[in-house]
Structure 1
Amino acid sequence: MTMRIATFANSDQMIASSLRTQATMATLQVQEASGLKSEYLADYGADTQHVVNLQVSVTRAQSYIDAATLADSKVQVMYSAVGQVSDVVTQLRSALSAATSGSSTGTSSAISTAQQLLQQMTGILNTQYDGQYLFGGARTSTTAVDTSAFASGTGSLTTADTSYYQGDSELASVRVSDRQSVSYGVTADDPAFEKVMRVLKYVANSANLSDSDISAALTLADQAVDEVATVQAKLSDAASRIESGKSQQTDYKSYAESLATDLTSVDVAAVTAQLSTYQAQLTASYTAISKIQSLNLASYLR
């Protein structure tokens, strides 16, 4: 049996084949390490636009989630503050009820309590979150309430007075989707808060309280209790809608991410198996190349 010696052509073909195998292996190794078909969008061909659209959708959904999370935190703080307002009214009612006996001690105690509660109420309505005042409308960088002028004089139990308010009428809202925006704000001049401030001012600045004064103050305080509870209910409803919107965006984001993963990811186990096959093929190629290159005319003639 004879063997034809033509080492250059055979070696050239086998080396080219080995280089192609090496290039394929390099690609597979990158896929195995990253879990992605490619690091470059251009390599996805017809799926490129789908991948881009899904990535944009994921980013947009995350922005809605972040906005909803921040708004939900603000609502929780506002809800807690309104709960404190309810406590303030409850304490005032208790003090006024104790003063109905007509004793000077009870009256003095009610006036002193109202003075302290007025300061406390001012602090509550100037509640901040993340460096922003929550009850001032769009004016989040300045205090919502200033009682330096408001606190003088008794005012009237029957005439509304919001002169303490430093904010505007803009209510806070958050966009939780392309089509849904949830309003969750409440301002310090809300009728519920105004009634609390009015009755506190009246009692705190009174030199003395008659039975009729106490009765009228209690009536206004009772109205405030009901309206404060309504404000809390509205905040609770807003929180529920924000959380619902956030949940929908979270679900959508997961769905979009799953679709994007299906388009861009590889089966790492399958890639590993391919690598093993190509490695064996490359080893065989190198062995064959080595064998061919070791052949020469002298070796053949011996």
Structure 2
Amino acid sequence: MSQNSISTYSLSSSLIQTIQASQAKLSKTQIEISTGRYADVGLALGSGTAAGISLRQQENVLKTITTTNGIASTRLDTTQSVLSSIGANAQSFLESLLGATSATGDPAVLQASAQVNLQSLTASLNTTLNGDYLFGGVNSGQQPITDYSTPGSSNGNALDQAFQTTFGISQSDSAVSSITASNMQNFLDSSFANLFQGSNWSTNWSQASDTVLTTQINDHQTANTSVSANEKAFKELFSAYTMIGQLGTANLNSSAFKTVVNQAVTTVKSAISDLTNIQGGVGLVQNQIVNANDTMSLRMNYLTSQVNTLESVDPAEASTRMTALQTQIETAYSLTSQLHKLSLVNYL
């Protein structure tokens, strides 16, 4: 006849292991109740884990695009505001030009107005946003427009040289009054016009890039999200403000003055039309971003619901499980306490 013996130590050790295992399960269950998700998604889903990862990756891509769209929208909003200001100044200047050849028109006042507008346009196109030049294109780290008013500026020197070469005098010379209308028109159509074209423009006026910033506004579409200072509208406005402000306008004879004003009127009208087209293009992209964000928001909501379907726990089941585990742990603690009180002394 054999006898089996079980020590209180082995029973106590078994209960402690049970308590530790139950506490680990309880900790996971508490996490699941707190987060609403499986504590170990991979263990819970098994082969279905890949589907959850794929859904989250798609959601993260859309979140990233939405964030960059916010940055692009701010850039475009600021650009639109600057363009509106430039347009308003151009329109006001055009009205001044149209009244300049009347009996009450004052060439000196018009010249001063053009100089102010030249400075204003330069400042507008050198606008920065978060440390980047708004109209620099992809050269956003470099100031796009050279300030004409700076002594020794490349654009100022180029105009002075062109004027001196053509007329043999400087713009400040009183002899500008002897320049004929035909000679002035020839100058405007040739040497002066060339100052705002090709390498003369890129060397003396602008360090902006023709290539503008692009942004991926959804997962299959990109859009231009900046405007370059090299746009034709800006060249035209610089040309108009410079011809009125920097060619000795106040001292020209009436026929030469009228020639310059007429040329400026034509140039500003063209600039305003081109500027309107630029603003329309910016507005179109702004709308595209809004629509893209709306669509992505719906898609992210759908992806989130799919992820939740895969990874979410049943709150009622998790709560019941937690209660059962707590009861199990309390029972194990109680048994352990009773085992510790057992002693052979009590039976002697």
Global fold match (TM > 0.5):
yes
* 1:61-104, Cα deviation, whole Å (9 max, x unpaired): 1221121111111111111111111022122113223322144x
Aligned equivalent of 1:134: 134
Aligned 1:93-104 pairs, distance under 5 A: 93-103=94-104
Distance (whole Å) between structure 1 residues aligned to residue 16 and residue 121 of structure 2: 85
The verdict on how the C-alpha distance between 1:217 and 1:21 changes in structure 2, with shifts beyond 3 A counting, is: closer
Aligned equivalent of 2:154: 149
Identity percentage of aligned residues: 19
The verdict on how the C-alpha distance between 1:296 and 1:212 changes in structure 2, with shifts beyond 3 A counting, is: closer
* 1:180-203, Cα deviation, whole Å (9 max, x unpaired): 111233211211111111111100
Which of the numbers 242, 266, 273 marks the counterpart of 2:289? 242
Which of the numbers 221, 235, 238 marks the counterpart of 1:197? 238
Native 8 Å contact 2:213 2:225 kept in 1 = yes
Q: CA deviation at 1:232?
A: 0.5
Distance (whole Å) between structure 1 residues aligned to residue 242 and residue 282 of structure 2: 26
The verdict on how the C-alpha distance between 1:10 and 1:165 changes in structure 2, with shifts beyond 3 A counting, is: closer
Native 8 Å contact 1:11 1:289 kept in 2 = yes
The TM-score, its normalising length taken from structure 1, stands at: 0.83
Q: CA deviation at 1:282?
A: 4.3
Which of the numbers 285, 306, 321 marks the counterpart of 1:274? 321
The verdict on how the C-alpha distance between 1:293 and 1:214 changes in structure 2, with shifts beyond 3 A counting, is: closer
Q: CA deviation at 1:36?
A: 2.4
Distance (whole Å) between structure 2 residues aligned to residue 137 and residue 89 of structure 1: 23
User: Is it true that 1:226 corresponds to 2:273 in the alignment?
Assistant: yes
Q: CA deviation at 1:123?
A: 0.7
* 1:198-247, Cα deviation, whole Å (9 max, x unpaired): 11110001333623432332222122212111111110001111222233
User: Is it true that 1:83 corresponds to 2:84 in the alignment?
Assistant: yes
Aligned 1:138-217 pairs, distance under 5 A: 138-146=138-146, 147=148, 148-151=153-156, 152-153=159-160, 156=188, 159=193, 161-162=196-197, 163=201, 164-206=205-247, 207=249, 208=252, 210-217=257-264
The verdict on how the C-alpha distance between 1:222 and 1:271 changes in structure 2, with shifts beyond 3 A counting, is: same
Distance (whole Å) between structure 2 residues aligned to residue 125 and residue 157 of structure 1: 25
User: Secondary structure of 1:210's partner?
Assistant: helix
Distance (whole Å) between structure 1 residues aligned to residue 227 and residue 20 of structure 2: 70
Distance (whole Å) between structure 2 residues aligned to residue 13 and residue 149 of structure 1: 90
Give the stretch that moved more between structures: 153-162 or 109-118. 153-162
The verdict on how the C-alpha distance between 1:149 and 1:275 changes in structure 2, with shifts beyond 3 A counting, is: same
Aligned equivalent of 2:72: 71
The verdict on how the C-alpha distance between 1:296 and 1:216 changes in structure 2, with shifts beyond 3 A counting, is: closer
Distance (whole Å) between structure 2 residues aligned to residue 290 and residue 145 of structure 1: 85
Native 8 Å contact 1:38 1:44 kept in 2 = no
Aligned residues: 297
Native 8 Å contact 2:52 2:310 kept in 1 = yes
User: Secondary structure of 2:227's partner?
Assistant: coil
The TM-score, its normalising length taken from structure 2, stands at: 0.73
User: Secondary structure of 2:229's partner?
Assistant: coil
Distance (whole Å) between structure 1 residues aligned to residue 142 and residue 335 of structure 2: 82
Give the stretch that moved more between structures: 210-219 or 11-20. 11-20
User: Secondary structure of 1:150's partner?
Assistant: helix
Distance (whole Å) between structure 1 residues aligned to residue 292 and residue 72 of structure 2: 11
Distance (whole Å) between structure 1 residues aligned to residue 324 and residue 59 of structure 2: 37
Q: CA RMSD in A?
A: 3.1
User: Secondary structure of 1:175's partner?
Assistant: strand
Distance (whole Å) between structure 1 residues aligned to residue 313 and residue 76 of structure 2: 43
Runs of 5+ unmatched residues, structure 2: 164-186
The verdict on how the C-alpha distance between 1:132 and 1:157 changes in structure 2, with shifts beyond 3 A counting, is: farther
